[in-house]
Amino acid sequence: MGDVIAVLEQRNGTLKQVCHETLTAARALADELSGQVLALVVGPPGVSVEGLGEYGADRVLVCEDSALQLYQGTRYAQIAADLAGKHGPEAVVLVATAFGKDLGPRIAAKLGCPLASDVTSIAGGEGIVVTRPAFSGKATYKLKIVAQRCVISIRPNAVTPAAVSRAGVVEQVAPGESDVPGATTVAVKEPERVALDVAEAAIVVAGGRGLKEPENFRLIEELAAVLDGAVGASRAVVDAGWRPHSEQVGQTGKTVSPNLYVAIGLSGAIQHLAGMRTSKVIVAINRDKDAPIFKVADYGLVGDLFEIVPRLTEEIKKVRGT
């Protein structure tokens, strides 16, 4: 039997939506390994773990402590590694959000096992095989993990959450003593506005220099709002100070794999394509018919974005009745 530990992410005592993706990926792998899924939740007292069995968790290990409310990489990794040592899973699975990208390598280092990061699929027939993008997303390759244990982080939106009912038995586990110095929280500054994380959103509407000036990004924001999506941006507009770096998509920004990616006024530099090429459906709007973005787009509109985008937004509002 090959059990799988799914490390779930919480923020301010609430589990994030990507946890369902983590569990779905872990469940599929555990089924192929004839094992169980152990969901691990580390955080403050009171985190709601109801319903995790509905997405495939056989057992839910809850490690609560008021000192664990804010993420601390060294402490979280120690807890996960200790539990992995106790339960002996064949794999530890996370989603490659900022949380997973930081925590995954830490756990792998403590366990002395390989890390497969930012994968787009996992299979567990004769050994665990993962698929990763390469060459700025132009190709993919399969990697077979021959170690007895591994840590895997899977790209957000690469897995569609699926309801698979399991027991989801909740077990309390103690955080244990640690000789690793913890972090001291000096202050917590909340963002002025709460927006969808572009790396986790199912729909992303991104804009580039074709918008001509920062004020015109309202067109992007309005379309993203009616689609319940996140706003993305090219490196050029971020470097120009039009948008925050948290919205940047590309090699030097965030890698995204949404169900729908709408590129508006974006030419499609190779660095940008590397960050969004694995999107399931790509729609491009640009007045330059030779723009590189059209080579990867599933649907393209050649024309003036200042005419197309407002009309598109209004039509979607009518369809949605908003």
**Do 238 and 253 form a contact (C-beta atoms < 8 A)?**
yes
Please tell me the least confidently modeled range out of 73-87, 135-149, 179-193: 179-193
- In the three-class reduction of DSSP (H, G, I as helix; E, B as strand; rest coil), residue 284 is classed as strand
- List the CATH number of the domain containing 232: 3.40.50.1220
pLDDT band at 181 (very low <50, low <70, confident <90, very high): low
Looking at residues 13-20, what average pLDDT do you find? 92
Give how many domains the chain has, as a whole number: 2
Same domain? 125 vs 45: yes
Residues 43-96: tens digit of each pLDDT: 999 999 989 999 999 999 999 998 888 899 999 999 999 999 999 999 999 999
- List the CATH number of the domain containing 72: 3.40.50.620
pLDDT band at 179 (very low <50, low <70, confident <90, very high): low
Q: How many Cα neighbours within 13 Å face the side chain of 129? A: 9
Rg of the chain over Cα atoms, rounded to whole angstroms, equals 21
**Do 232 and 247 form a contact (C-beta atoms < 8 A)?**
yes
Q: How far apart are CA 157 and CA 319, in angstroms?
A: 25
Same domain? 39 vs 138: yes
Q: Which domain holds residue 290?
A: 203-320
The whole-model pTM stands at 0.79
Same domain? 150 vs 228: no
In a domain, 282, yes or no: yes
Looking at residues 131-158, what average pLDDT do you find? 89
pLDDT band at 313 (very low <50, low <70, confident <90, very high): very high
pLDDT of residue 75: 92
Q: How far apart are the first and last CA of the chain?
A: 51
Same domain? 164 vs 218: no
Q: How far is CA 231 from the centre of its chain?
A: 15
Looking at residues 260-266, what average pLDDT do you find? 97
Residues 214-231: tens digit of each pLDDT: 999 999 999 999 999 999
> Which among 172, 188, 212 is the end of a domain?
172
Q: How far apart are CA 219 and CA 207, in angstroms?
A: 9
Percent of the chain with pLDDT over 70: 95
Helix, strand, coil percentages for the chain (3-state, nearest 5): 30, 25, 40
Contacts of 49 (CB under 8 A, 6+ apart): 15, 39, 41, 60, 62, 168, 170
Same domain? 14 vs 111: yes
pLDDT of residue 137: 73
In a domain, 182, yes or no: no
Locate the DSSP E strands across 228-280: 230-233, 260-264
